[in-house]
């Protein structure tokens, strides 16, 4: 359980840790406030868009593999964030970091079911939810503490030893959850539609909050609805749907 707690903690912490440092990062990378917001948006969009597809991958290739793969990607992307020398590099690294976080968070609940006896699953799920809530809330506070003693790259570099330790624990302690050969393969088209649906929805909400043009917001929401409609049509014919309908 320790590796699951640590993984959930660092993945959730990085959702909000960059918020406090955004003006400092923007000034250091010579970026405008309008473009620097993508340091946060890229992480959140990538995470939300890939949560469901990666959860489906866990059912096929094994939850342990998805979790450890997410941890490795998150840790390496954190290193890339800390070494980024321009805004595009940082945004790209944050996107990869968000995908890694999705790999961690998408299968945590499933792994809990394999670790705990049935009578204690509710308690374990509650503990995991508490960790997510606490570390989401303290992200800006942690960022303020780090920035008082170090520069902004350390907001991301602190993930490296934590992520590496969590990877070691995962390989040593997490059970393998693959049994018989899966009766279905991953539906890549549905995965793309899910990513487009949630990504465009969140993007539209973000643009609306930042008072982007009405036409732009409506186009993003309209495209999200198109993805949703196409997904529903495809899932009705799928024996193992990503989104049960």
Domain positions in the chain? 2-177, 185-245
CA–CA dist 29, 38 (Å, integer): 13
Q: What pLDDT score does 104 carry?
A: 93
Q: What pLDDT score does 180 carry?
A: 45
Q: What pLDDT score does 57 carry?
A: 86
CA–CA dist 157, 147 (Å, integer): 13
Residue 217 CB partners (closer than 8 Å, separation 6+):
204, 207, 208
pLDDT in tens, the chain (245 residues): 778 888 889 999 888 888 888 888 988 988 887 788 889 989 988 998 898 889 888 888 888 899 999 999 999 999 999 999 899 999 999 999 999 999 999 898 888 888 887 778 888 888 888 988 998 888 888 888 998 999 999 999 999 999 999 999 988 888 877 644 555 677 777 778 888 888 888 888 877 877 777 888 888 889 889 888 888 887 777 766 666 65
Backbone φ and ψ for 161, nearest 5 degrees, come out as -65, -35
CA–CA dist 138, 131 (Å, integer): 11
> CATH code for 2-177?
1.20.1250.20
Nearest to 81 by CA among 162, 159, 164, 165: 159
Q: What pLDDT score does 110 carry?
A: 86
* Model pTM above 0.75: yes
Which secondary-structure segment (H or E) carries 134? helix 121-137
Q: What pLDDT score does 182 carry?
A: 56
Q: What pLDDT score does 87 carry?
A: 92
Nearest to 150 by CA among 162, 142, 160: 142
Q: Virtual CA dihedral for 18, 23, 26, 27, nearest 10 degrees?
A: -140
Q: What pLDDT score does 242 carry?
A: 67
CA–CA dist 172, 135 (Å, integer): 25
CA–CA dist 111, 168 (Å, integer): 16
The CA–CA distances, whole Å, from 168 to 68, 106, 192 equal 9, 19, 31
């Amino acid at each position: 359980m320790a590796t699951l707690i640590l993984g959930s903690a660092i993945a959730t912490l990085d959702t909000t840790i960059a918020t406090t440092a955004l003006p400092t990062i923007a000034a250091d990378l010579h970026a405008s406030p309008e473009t620097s917001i993508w340091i946060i948006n890229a992480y959140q969009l990538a995470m939300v868009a890939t949560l469901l597809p990666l959860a489906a991958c866990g059912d096929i290739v094994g939850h342990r593999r998805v979790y450890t793969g997410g941890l490795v990607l998150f840790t390496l992307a954190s290193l890339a964030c800390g070494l980024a020398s321009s805004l595009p590099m940082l945004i790209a690294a944050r996107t990869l970091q968000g995908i890694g976080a999705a790999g961690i968070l998408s299968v945590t609940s499933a792994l809990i079911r394999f670790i705990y006896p049935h009578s204690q699953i509710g308690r374990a799920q509650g503990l995991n939810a508490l960790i997510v809530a606490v570390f989401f809330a303290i992200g800006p506070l942690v960022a303020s503490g780090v920035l008082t003693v170090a520069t902004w790259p350390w907001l991301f570099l602190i993930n490296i030893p934590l992520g590496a330790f969590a990877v070691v624990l995962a390989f040593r302690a997490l059970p393998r959850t693959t049994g018989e050969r899966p009766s279905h393969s991953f539906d890549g088209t549905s995965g793309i539609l899910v990513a487009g649906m949630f990504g465009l929805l969140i993007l539209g909400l973000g643009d609306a909050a930042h008072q982007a043009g009405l036409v732009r917001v409506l186009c993003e929401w309209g495209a999200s609805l198109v993805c949703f409609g196409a997904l529903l049509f495809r899932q009705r014919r799928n024996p193992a749907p990503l989104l049960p309908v």
